[in-house]
Chains A and B, each alone.
Chain A
């Protein structure tokens, strides 16, 4: 649980004062990923760095796990919060193993516990410990380095993680791959995560909540669906883009559409199906893309065992115009 109360950061210089973060109020529930989104200079990174006191707060308060951060010992506070940055920040003079063990070592863990934790984390990140733990960071690819960066932040099992554009410097394919793995890991770990991004698609994909900032102000905070279906003001509308209806499709799966439409043209399956096939777990944006490229405007939906469930066509999308993911989960 992280709570911001009137959090404000003012930079004073001789002739002027700049408010980088202005009166921010919101909270993040335990186990949630909250993505801070906004253009550069909007204050999102400043706000993130205020949480582990890399930037001191000017006014207001921030509470982590129910404790005001200013009342805690600064070193202890930082060791209890995982921190991942864009350019991984791995220590080039240490092996991968030593990098991962930095915080546990400072916390005084014994050798065996550190060794076990290190292997466990590397396996979780999909890197073979035997092959990689004795290597130096420069011997790894960018994507591998970033995985180690995340493993290092997770090492002492902190309840809270701060991530400053961790996938920002990676190419789109690796980024997508790491995002998926990150979500998989988060499902088990249930950390409370603050995640800075400037990429709306990343925010929609990863965030349980998305907070949009501009010039130090919180513009809107809500679930990705709320942000996309009901942008609060012109800035948010512009920032999420004119294709927000399309982006919203990524939040729903073919399965959700099937719940809404009864029948789903099962009768069409009597004959052999020669057209395109799509998984019931695919998101609706991909489904739409398949439909647009299908010669007769229809695709067959199959489940995980390749059993044919029905036929989807573009007109089905009308069903969900005013439907939100949270309504669907109730139907489920």
Chain B
């Protein structure tokens, strides 16, 4: 088997590229969570803003990934970062915004109005209400958004190799340009395996976390 031989001879490089890929996706989604979750909470308190924000995030999602990377190049050329890591990260952050913002928004909105009413009526401040009641209740849905964002960016991250971001996409890009089938296959399989295993891992993590904070009402 050509693929097995390829893996045998290049396993160190595959491992390294996988780590690169994880780093790329981890950084992008990490930043997306830090920006997206507060943003989702904010628009859940400000209905007028919500539609606009969700529409814009939706539009970004519809831009084909390769085109978005293309758009990044001239913009980042202005600061001499045209190709490479930075534009890739920014594009991936933009992609992961929508599922995170949308799920946070929906999750907070869907907290039982009676529960919210009780929290306000008992004299919780807005911050206490968020931290003690709304966020714990919204957690599973926000987490679902994060998982979606991660799987999405692992896939799109492979394309980022075309603008020199590194990661497993490198094998696919190189394989295509040199017509090396085994290399393409190894790249593709590695990307899928990574996406699936991280999703399963996060699912387990979420389950463990939620069993403590039971969500049924």
Residues of A within 8 A of B (CB): 49, 52, 54, 75-80, 83, 85-94, 102-103, 106, 136-138, 152-153, 162
A76 touches B120 (CB 8 A): no
Q: Which of B99-124 contact A (CB under 8 A)?
A: 112, 114-115, 117-124
Contact partner of A91 (CB less than 8 A), chosen from B120, B121, B125, B132, is B132
Complex CA–CA separation, A238 to B122 (angstroms)? 36
B29 to chain A, nearest CB (A): 25
Bound CA span A136–B124, Å? 20
Q: Which B residues are in CB contact (< 8 Å) with A103?
A: 122-123
Task: Output the least CB separation between B84 and chain A (Å).
Answer: 44
Max count, chain A CB within 10 A of own CB: residue among B112, B133, B217: B217
CB pair A54 B123 closer than 8 Å: no
B139: nearest residue on chain A (CB-CB)? A93
- Indicate which residue in A78, A93, A94, A152 contacts B123 across the interface (CB closer than 8 Å): A78
Chain A residues with CB under 8 Å of B215's CB are: 92-93
A sample of 23 inter-chain contacts (CB < 8 A) reads A54-B117, A54-B121, A75-B124, A76-B123, A78-B120, A78-B121, A85-B117, A85-B121, A88-B118, A89-B115, A89-B119, A89-B121, A90-B217, A91-B119, A91-B132, A92-B214, A92-B215, A102-B132, A103-B122, A136-B216, A138-B217, A152-B122, A153-B122
Given contacts A136-B214, A137-B217, A138-B217, contact A89 B124 (CB under 8 A): no
Tell me whether A93 and B214 are in contact in the complex, defined as CB-CB below 8 angstroms, given that A85-B114, A87-B114 are known contacts: yes
Q: For residue A49, which residues in chain B have a CB less than 8 angstroms away from its CB?
A: 121
A85 to B112, CA, bound (A): 13
- Asked if B2 CB lies within 8 Å of chain A CBs, one says no
Q: CB distance B123 to A75 under 8 Å?
A: yes
Q: How far is the CA of A83 from the CA of B124 in the complex (A)?
A: 12
Sorted from nearest, which 5 A-B pairs have the closest CB atoms? A89-B118, A78-B123, A79-B123, A83-B121, A92-B217
Contact B133 A91 (CB under 8 A): yes
* A87-B93 Cα distance, complex, nearest whole Å: 41
In the complex, A187 Cα to B119 Cα: how many Å? 28
Q: How far is the CB of B115 from chain A (nearest CB, A)?
A: 5
13 further A-B pairs in the complex, CB-CB below 8 A; given A83-B118, A91-B137, A102-B124:
A52-B121, A77-B123, A79-B122, A89-B118, A89-B121, A90-B115, A91-B132, A92-B214, A93-B136, A93-B215, A106-B123, A136-B214, A162-B121
User: How distant is A152 from chain B, measured CB to nearest CB, in Å?
Assistant: 8
Bound-state Cα–Cα, A85 to B123, Å:
14
What's the nearest-Cβ distance from chain B to residue A97, in Å? 14
Question: B47 near A: Cβ within 8 Å?
Answer: no
Closest residue of chain A to B210 (Cβ to Cβ) is A93
With a cutoff of 8 Å between Cβ atoms, the chain B residues found around residue A79 in the complex are: 122-123
Given the complex of chains A and B, what is the CA–CA distance between A92 and B132 in angstroms? 11
